[in-house]
Amino acid sequence: MIPPVASDPDPTTQIPWPSGRNRAQDADQGDAFPDQASNGVTTVNRDGPSSRSKKTTGKRQLSTWDMITLSISMAGAQIAWTVELGYGTPFLLGLGLPEHLTALVWLAGPISGLVAQPVIGALSDSSTSKYRRRFWIVLSTVALVLSTLVLAYCEPLAAVVVDLLAVGQGDWDDRRNKIVTNTAIGFAVVSFYILDFALNGLQASLRNLLLDVTPPNQLNEGNAWHSRMTNAGNIVGFGFGFMPLAELPIIRLLGGSQFRKFCIICIVILVITVWMTCWFHEEEERPAHQQRRRRGFGEVLDNIYKSMINLPRPIRRVCYVQLFAFMGWFPFLFYSTTYVGQVMAHEIGKEPDHEYATRLGERAMLIYSIVGVIAGMILPHVATRDRRLLASKTFESPDEELNTLRKMVRQWRVEAARQGKPLRLPVMPFLLRNIWSAAMIFFALLMFSTIFVKTVFELLKETPPPPPPQSRRPSHVRNLSTPARRPSVINPTSERQPLLRRRSYDEFDSALDADSESGPLPGGTVLGIHNLAIVMPQFLVALATNVIFRLADGQMPVEGERGTYYGKNGVAWVLRFGGFCTLLGAVVARMVPPTTTEREMRRRLGEMKLLGEETSNP
């Protein structure tokens, strides 16, 4: 069962980085976002043979089929990313790249995230063409296809290049073979960097297209479809990676290794999904007068710096938690398949078959993806809020709200008495920070359990749920960038205000309110800072991983063996390091204050309990 998705009129939910779509700047220039939304998009509905000429101007309500075709490219992009996640590290190790240098290769992720998303977002925002989003989608897809092809055939390509340069005397020449290996490693490293840049550009453009095409009240639903397609992409990608592709009738004709066949499958799926999105949806050409003044790069950096300095305390703490949490998640994502191979080598006492070990690692990641889907279906229900704790309307005075609560509690007591049952008040749901903390503690315990894991079977049982999707902003960010009237107005100077109101939470909440009201920040800028908190751990983890590999795997215990897996234990220590960082994140998560809604619910529940005692003793 898929949990319901509430509508969200805030378009900055999908903004990956502060760009020209600056809400504060829009307000100053009098260019309201809804006006742009209603005039900036045309969605093409191709339900019949001649439907290409039938265009609906403006943002119409999207059907389920529209949502699928709009978001299916995210599945293709995620499948392409499983090439890097599942096979990246084992492939580089198989080529002969030292283990400690693989950490430096994966710096491609944070670098591309910091560069590709803001640059492509700014360039596409400044364009008036009806292809402003799809141009970058297609261009990123082409780069992604080419880089994946080079990865699939990097060794034959390296041999061709070396032969064209007439290096060495032939296949029997050790000098020539060494140069071929080094050239193949160079091709692979460059291809992974291009793949990361293209993937970031593709995902950013797909999110921007979603923002352009989807009406405001369906943005949450569109974002949910992106998340579902991402989960589906993980399952399909890791599923194909685990399957013995050499035994499939048509795919085995491709020849080469499992990795090559997997790359070709990912390319085909990616091209088909991107074609569907570009064919069924298109933007409308934007009139020139709707262009906004573009801010300079220096002005953008200055705005980000000032926003970081003045960041409200709740959002700052969320960023701190993300910093530690993703220092634990990135080692898990990039080194899980390698760790499975190392555990397998320890179990059998020798170097395992590389393709089989990698396939077992893919099976572990497949289980991880399935667990992620299940967790994504269960957790929203764990945090379900009782509607009785939510204010159904805006009250003009605290007394009015209190009288309403008193009537509700009396009515519940009467209904309970008719049924011969005691009064049962609503139950406070799990706070989001509690769920977050518990998940990180659970993850840390699993990472520490690698000390006791001796077999692959034991390892496959310990699959943590995935991190929360980062296309969503934290609740504190949402509350800041989309201010709304609070459900009740509290006047602390009123002498008639009941003593129970704000007695327990007044000091804590007022401090939060004062900190949050230091000045409004654009939602895109805040989301950009949040993105920095996710990207920066990759740099820190890459440096720490490099040192850990040098210390743990500095000397090979077995002479004469290549030792891609056998005799290595560095990945286990990297995972434990990630678990320790995640444990620190759980501690910091305890300092994240409850959201505004959670505080209101807690206050109303406290009042209901006191009113329940009042009605029981008339």
Question: For 359-374, what is the mean pLDDT?
Answer: 89
pLDDT of residue 38: 37
* C-alpha span between 259 and 188 (Å, rounded): 13
> Measured between alpha carbons, how far is 235 from 46 in angstroms, rounded to an integer?
29
Task: Look at residue 75 in the predicted model and tell me its pLDDT.
Answer: 94
| Tokens found for residue 247 | 């035994």
Q: What was the pLDDT predicted at 458?
A: 63
As beta bridge partners, residue 43 has 56
Query: In the prediction, which pLDDT does 212 show?
Result: 84
Question: Cβ-count burial of 491 within 10 angstroms (0-12 exposed, 13-18 middle, 19+ buried)?
Answer: exposed
Q: What is the pLDDT of residue 524?
A: 53
Residue 408: per-residue pLDDT:
82
246 DSSP 8-state letter: G
Mean pLDDT of 565-576: 88
| For residue 40, pLDDT beyond 70 | no
Percent of the chain with pLDDT over 90: 23
Strands 55-57 and 41-44: what pairing?
antiparallel
What pLDDT, on a 0 to 100 scale, did the predictor assign at position 33?
38
Look at residue 176 in the predicted model and tell me its pLDDT. 84
Residues 415-466: tens digit of each pLDDT:
888 888 888 888 787 888 888 899 999 999 999 999 988 887 766 655 565 5
**Confidence category of residue 525, pLDDT binned at 50, 70, 90:** low
Range with the largest mean pLDDT of 393-402, 434-443, 522-531 = 434-443
pTM summary value: 0.72
Q: How far apart are the first and last CA of the chain?
A: 45
Please name each of the domains of the chain with its CATH number: 69-289 (1.20.1250.20), 313-398+429-491+503-596 (1.20.1250)
Which range, 1-5, 147-151, 225-229, is most confident?
Answer: 147-151
- Specify the range with the lowest mean pLDDT, choosing from 249-263, 321-335, 495-509, 535-549: 495-509
If we measure between CA atoms, which residue out of 350, 333, 368, 130 comes closest to residue 239? Answer: 368
- Over residues 258-307, the pLDDT tens digits come to 999 999 999 999 999 999 999 998 877 766 654 455 556 666 667 667 77
Of 400, 388, 467, 368, nearest to 429 by C-alpha is 388
H/E stretch holding 414 reads helix 398-418
What local confidence, expressed as pLDDT, does residue 474 receive? 43
In the predicted model, is pLDDT for residue 2 greater than 80?
Answer: no
Least confident of 147-151, 275-279, 506-510, 597-601: 506-510
Sheet holding 282-283, edge to edge: 55-57, 41-44, 282-283
When the pLDDT of each residue in the chain is averaged and rounded to a whole number, the result is 76
Confidence of residue 520 (pLDDT cuts 50, 70, 90): low
Given a contact cutoff of 8 angstroms between Cβ atoms, the answer to whether 307 and 529 are in contact is yes
The residue among 265, 275, 277 whose CA lies nearest residue 86 is: 265
495 has a pLDDT exceeding 60:
no
Kindly state the percentage of the chain with pLDDT values over 70: 72
Which DSSP state fits 553?
S
Asked if residues 426 and 607 have their Cβ atoms less than 8 Å apart, the reply is no
Q: In the structure encoding, which two tokens stand for residue 345, read together?
A: 């080598």
pLDDT in tens, 80-129: 999 998 899 999 998 988 888 888 898 888 888 888 877 787 777 777 77
- Asked if residue 203 has pLDDT above 70, the reply is yes
What's residue 137's pLDDT? 93
Number of DSSP helices (H) and strands (E) in the chain, helices first: 21, 3
* More confident position, 376 or 76: 76
pLDDT for the residue numbered 420: 83
